[in-house]
Amino acid sequence: MPEESTSIRPIEIEREMADSFLEYAMSVIVSRALPDVRDGLKPVHRRILYSMYDAGIRAGTPYRKCSRVVGEVVGWFHPHAPEAVYDSLVRLGQDFALRYPLVDPQGNFGTVDDDAGAMRYTEARMASLGMYLLEG
């Protein structure tokens, strides 16, 4: 059996930590924080729209509580804080944040100067344009 040669190279821990952190930070920025050039959506936006589509919360159907939508997203696709998902859902429905809202909001979705109401008080469904994005 041939012997494998293993070599352990000494490195400076400070340099390795800096390089590893920079590599990780860049991967997060590229894969999650920057919108995709194809559709302008971040992964959390795509997850929200797909969850609404999958749960039948589509354009022309009755509005559903935003807490239900957030629960679907957090439960199936985005295991992070519900508040972050709700903030993204609200942004998808604000006509002053997006030129073409992808979510049809009902209730207090905020203004330029004020925050949105709590997710238990607001309702939403997909807008027609959101349906178009998913259907292709």
- Distance between CA 71 and CA 69 in Å, rounded? 5
- Asked if residue 96 lies in contact with residue 118, where contact means CB atoms within 8 angstroms, the answer is no
Measure the CA–CA gap between 78 and 72, rounded to whole angstroms: 9
- Both ends of the chain: CA-CA distance in Å? 57
Active site residue: 24, 100, 121, 132, which one? Answer: 121
Active site residue 121: yes
Q: Which ranges in 29-127 belong to alpha helices (H)?
A: 43-54, 66-76, 82-93
Can you state the percent helix, strand and coil of the chain, rounding each to 5? 45, 5, 45
Given a contact cutoff of 8 angstroms between Cβ atoms, the answer to whether 90 and 70 are in contact is: no
Q: Which residues are catalytic?
A: 121
